[in-house]
Amino acid sequence: MRLSVFSFCAILLSQSTVTALAAEPDVRRGSYLFSAAGCQGCHTDIEHKGMIGAGGRELKTPFGSFYGPNITPDPDHGLGKWTLDDFRKALREGLRPDGSPYYPAFPYAAFTKMSDQDIKDLYAYLRTIPAVAQPDKPHELGFPWNIRTGVWVWRTLYFDQGPLQEVAAQSASYNRGRYLVEALGHCGECHTPRTSLGGLDNARAYSGSTAGPEGSKVPNITPHPDGISTWSESDIATTLESGMLPDGDFIGGAMGEVITNSTSKLTAKDREAIAVYLKSLTPYPGP
C-alpha cells in the first residue's frame, strides 16, 4: 500500500517536473533555433563583420532594400525593452509592439508556424547575446511599397497566422522535417516562386525562382527532374551538412551562407528529417 502510494506520487512528481522543465525557456535550445531559423542571414551584417544580431544587413528585393533591424538586447536600439509577449507578437502575428505590421521581408508567414515553446526559447537566447547600441537603418523602398499600411493588403492575401499542426498520418521524421522547413528554415522564401504582389505562389511550392537574392536563379528542390528527383535522402542530408552536391560540386552564393550559418549546425537527424520532407513534396517543374 505504502509502495503504491509512493510510486503514484513519484510518477505525479516526475510528470510535473517534466512539464515544468519543458515550460522553462532553454537558452541552449534557443541558440539552436537561432541557427535553424537562420536569423544571422538578415540580422547580422556578416559582410562588414557586424556584431551578431546587431542588424544593418541589406536585403535587396524588387521592392527596394530592406535593412535587418537590431535584435540584440540593447534597450534603446534593440529588443532590450521587449517582453516575451512583444516577441511572440512579432513572430506569431507579424506585428510591431505598436500594432503596425512588419514588411514580409521579415518572413513571419513562416515564423508564425513556430511552437510557443520555441518562441520562448528563442527569446531567452536573444537576451543573452551582447547588447549592441546600433540604431536600425531605415528601409529604402520605392513607391508605393514604402507605405507600410499597404502590408495589410498583403496580409489578407498571404498571411495565415498560427502554429503548424502535425500531420498525424505521417512519420515523426516527416513532421519534424516539415517543421524545420516550413516554420524555421523558411526555405520557401527563396525556393518558392512569387506572385507580382510579392506573395509566395504556393501552388508551385519549392520549385525554384528566377528572381532570387542578388538576382540569381534559385534551384527547384521538389522531387521533379528539374529539381532533386535523382537525389537520395542521404544526398540531401550531405548537401545540407557540407554544401557538397551529388556531383562533387560545392554550393556557393546565398545558399552557401545558409549551409555555413544554419543547416551545417543542425543535428544529423534533423537534416535527415528535412530530406524526408523534401522528398515528399509535390514535384513541380521550374524555375
Q: Which amino acid is at 156?
A: T
Shortest approach of other proteins to residue 13 CB, angstroms? Answer: 44
Closest to other proteins by CB, 8 vs 250, is: 250
Closest to other proteins by CB, 121 vs 257, is: 257
Closest to other proteins by CB, 195 vs 234, is: 234
Shortest approach of other proteins to residue 255 CB, angstroms? Answer: 8
Shortest approach of other proteins to residue 249 CB, angstroms? Answer: 5
Closest to other proteins by CB, 141 vs 245, is: 245
Shortest approach of other proteins to residue 110 CB, angstroms? Answer: 22
Closest residue by Cα to residue 47 from 258, 257, 263: 257
Closest to other proteins by CB, 237 vs 276, is: 237
Q: Contact positions toward other proteins, by CB under 8 A?
A: 212, 214, 216-219, 234, 238, 242-245, 247-253, 255-257, 259-260
Closest to other proteins by CB, 225 vs 253, is: 253
Shortest approach of other proteins to residue 212 CB, angstroms? Answer: 7
Calculate the alpha carbon distances from 147 to 151, 152, 200 in Å.
Answer: 8, 10, 21
Residue 181 contacts residue 270 (beta carbons within 8 Å): no
Shortest approach of other proteins to residue 257 CB, angstroms? Answer: 6
